[in-house]
Structure 1
Amino acid sequence: MFINWSRFNMPYKERYIKNKIPAVAGIYVLYVQLENEKWDCFYIGNTENLHNAMMQHLDEKENPKIKENIQDYVCGFEYAPLEEAEARASVSKYLFDKLKPDCMEDPGGNGIRVNIARVGKF
């Protein structure tokens, strides 16, 4: 399956989310910049509303690891609109298996191979 990814955006700040993220269903990948200046995936989101989900991470209450990364480090993101819930779940699982984010649990299910805009540390 081919995913039409956004370009890589940084930093993960409110003004970028408000101006760049549409209120549509889709998937997104959050990255943190490491000390060696490479980027590492820490979260993969699957949502009915990209804009709202990504705004909620700015005031994260449920996942302290996400909150720490966003508040204390330089973070970036990519997203892709994807309407169908089953496709989003399959893509999220595939990305989870490939990118191994440390701020989330395995979403379960079966993955479907997709193009990955960024692969792990880059």
Structure 2
Amino acid sequence: MADSLLLIIAAGAAYLGFALFALSQSRHWQQVAPSHVAQPPQKKALRLLGSLALALSLSCAWLRDGAAFGSVLWLLLLSVAAPLLVFTLSWRPHWLQRLAQRLATPHPRHSRSIKRGPLHRG
């Protein structure tokens, strides 16, 4: 059971990593969420999160099957996740819309930290 769960997490993290890398590009961002504009700091954060997701995928593959076969499994997962993301962006980009909206919406805690002038209270 744990092996199956690690495999599912590794596959999902690989797909998520590629999705985050794709959303860090303006063309794909506009394709998925045309109402929001991704700023350069947000693009860097998307790339960092994509790298972390791929690292999570690799570590799950290593935990499941060791470093030798886990690396081969990870490469296999990458070779499946990348075309799946391409198909998603080609035929159903709206499937990634919720992810993009979630990433575009500022966290409520961060929106309160904006300094306001004396005329803007609240």
Compute the TM-score of the two structures, normalised by the length of structure 1.
0.26
1 or 2, which has the higher helix percentage? 2
1 or 2, which has the higher strand percentage? 1
Larger radius of gyration: 2
Compute the TM-score of the two structures, normalised by the length of structure 2.
0.26
